[in-house]
Amino acid sequence: MKIYLLKCLVLWVGLFASMACLANQVEASMSFKQVERCNATSQQGSCIQVPAELGDGALIFGHGRIEKLTENTFADAVKGLPPGTIVILNSLGGDLIGGLRLGQSIRARDFHTLLVSSDKLQHLVPKVVDPKAPVSNLPSSIGKCFSSCAYTFLGGMMRRVDSVAQFGVHQFRNEENKLDAIQAQKMSAMLARYLDAMGINRQLLDQALLTEPGKMTLITENLRKTWNVENGYAPVAFSRWRLEATSGGKRLAYASRKQISRNAFLTIAFAQINGQLRTLLIAKPDPRDETTSDWLSSFSTKLDLVIEVNSKIYRLSPITEWEKAGAVNTPGTRQIWFQAPDTLVRDLQSVKQFILKPQWAFPPIGMDSETYFGTEGFEDNFKAL
C-alpha cells in the first residue's frame, strides 16, 4: 500500500505542483534545523518545551513553504536521527503533493510531530528587516500549520498541538484556482487514502472540502482529538477482559478495542501453550474494507509488537506468519502469535491501562498506530488459563 500511494503521488506531482495555502501570502521554502529542548538549565525563550508523552527525542524545526521536493531537504537534515525524533512544523502550506510526501517520510522514520504557539517560536524565526522579505517571517504566520502542512503533520507517530497553536484546512486548488470534476474526484480519493493510512478520521477531509480555498477552517482541540489528528489519549472507558476457549482447545484471556478512524477492531490475547506464555494479535477490518487490497496487502510480512506499560517497553517478536483468524471471524481478519516474557503479565497486573503499538511497515486501512487497553478483569481471567 505504501509503495502504491507513493507511486500515485508521483503521478500527480506535475498537475498539482502549484497548490498553495493562501493566495496572498508567500513563504520562503521550508528549511529544517535542530533546536534545543528546554531543561533545568535552559534560558527562558531560547528553547522549546515538549509534552512528556512525545518522549525525549531530538527536535527538528521545519519552517517555511512546502515545495515539491521538500522531502529531499528533510531527508538530508534528519539523516542518522533515530525513531522518536520530534518534528516541529510551522508553515502556511504550499505544494500539496510535497506535503503528503513529507508526511509519509516522517511516518516511515517513526518520528513524532508537534505544533507550538507563536511565542515559543519567536527566537527561531528571524525578524523582518526588509519590507520585501517573505511574510513567513512575520509574527502573524508563526505558530500555524495550514493547508498542505496540516497533512504533513498527520505523518507523526504521536501528534500534539499546543493549546494556542493553529491547525487549519481548506479545499485544495492548483495555480489557476480551478480543477475539473475528474481531477477533483481523483485528488479527493488520494487524500482519503492518505488519511486512512495515517489513521485519521475522514471527517477532517470533509471539513477541508467544505472550506473555500481562500478561507481557512481552524480545527478545534476537541475535534482534533475526536478525529485522531492528535492521538495517544486514553479512551474514557475500556472493555473488560474475557476468557474464551478456541476450537483447537486453547484458552485465551483477551480484550478488544475499536479503532478511532473506522469500524475496525484490534484484539490482544494471552495464552499458556506448552508451559510458555504466548500473545496473540488479531486485526479485524471495517466491513467496507474486508476484501480490499489496501487491507489485505498489509499482512504479507511479519511485524514486531510493542507493548508500553507505564514507561516500560516490551518488544515482542513474532513466532508465526499472519494467519486467517478462524471460522467465527470475517475472511479478512488476520492473526499473528508472539513470544512473551512472564514479566509482562506481572507488569500488566499492576497498572490500569497500557498501550499496544503494532510496528506496521504501513498500517492497514483503518488501523491506528497505537491503541489503549484497560486491565479490568485481566488478572482473574489470566489465572483461569
pLDDT band with cut points at 50, 70 and 90 for residue 7? very low
The CATH label, of 3.40.630, 1.10.10, 2.60.40, 3.30.1490, for the domain at 242-383 is 2.60.40
Please tell me the distance from the alpha carbon of residue 181 to that of residue 365, in angstroms, as a whole number: 26
Cα–Cα–Cα angle for 188, 194, 197, rounded to 5 degrees: 145
Q: b or e along 133-169 (b: 16 or more beta carbons within 10 Å of the residue's beta carbon)?
A: ebebbeeebbbbbbbbbbbbbbbbbbbbbbeebbbbb
Those residues with Cβ within 8 angstroms of residue 278's Cβ, 6 or more apart along the chain or in another chain: 270, 271, 272, 319, 337, 338, 339, 340
pTM of the model: 0.58
Question: At which residue does the C-alpha cell 491547525 appear?
Answer: 167
Residue intervals of the chain classified under CATH 2.60.40 are 242-383
What are the tens digits of pLDDT across the range 111-131? 999 999 877 777 777 654 444
Please tell me the distance from the alpha carbon of residue 277 to that of residue 266, in angstroms, as a whole number: 20
What are the tens digits of pLDDT across the range 370-380? 888 999 999 99
Please tell me the distance from the alpha carbon of residue 116 to that of residue 251, in angstroms, as a whole number: 48
Q: Looking at residues 299-311, what average pLDDT do you find?
A: 94
The answer on pLDDT for 20 being more than 50 is no
Considering only 38-52, 94-108, 314-328, which range has the smallest mean pLDDT?
38-52
Q: Are 282 and 270 in contact (CB under 8 A)?
A: no
Q: Residue 187 in 3-state DSSP?
A: helix
The answer on pLDDT for 145 being more than 80 is yes
Strands (E), 125-250: 144-146, 159-161, 166-169, 217-218, 242-245
For helices 2-16 and 181-198, angle between their N-to-C axes, nearest 10 degrees: 140
Please tell me the distance from the alpha carbon of residue 229 to that of residue 159, in angstroms, as a whole number: 7
The alpha helices in 199-256, defined as continuous H runs, are: 203-209, 221-226
Question: At which residue does the C-alpha cell 531527508 appear?
Answer: 75
What are the tens digits of pLDDT across the range 215-224? 999 999 989 9
Q: Domain 2-226, what architecture?
A: Alpha-Beta Complex (3.90)
pLDDT of residue 236: 53
Residue intervals of the chain classified under CATH 3.90.226.10 are 2-226
CB atoms within 10 A of CB 350: 10
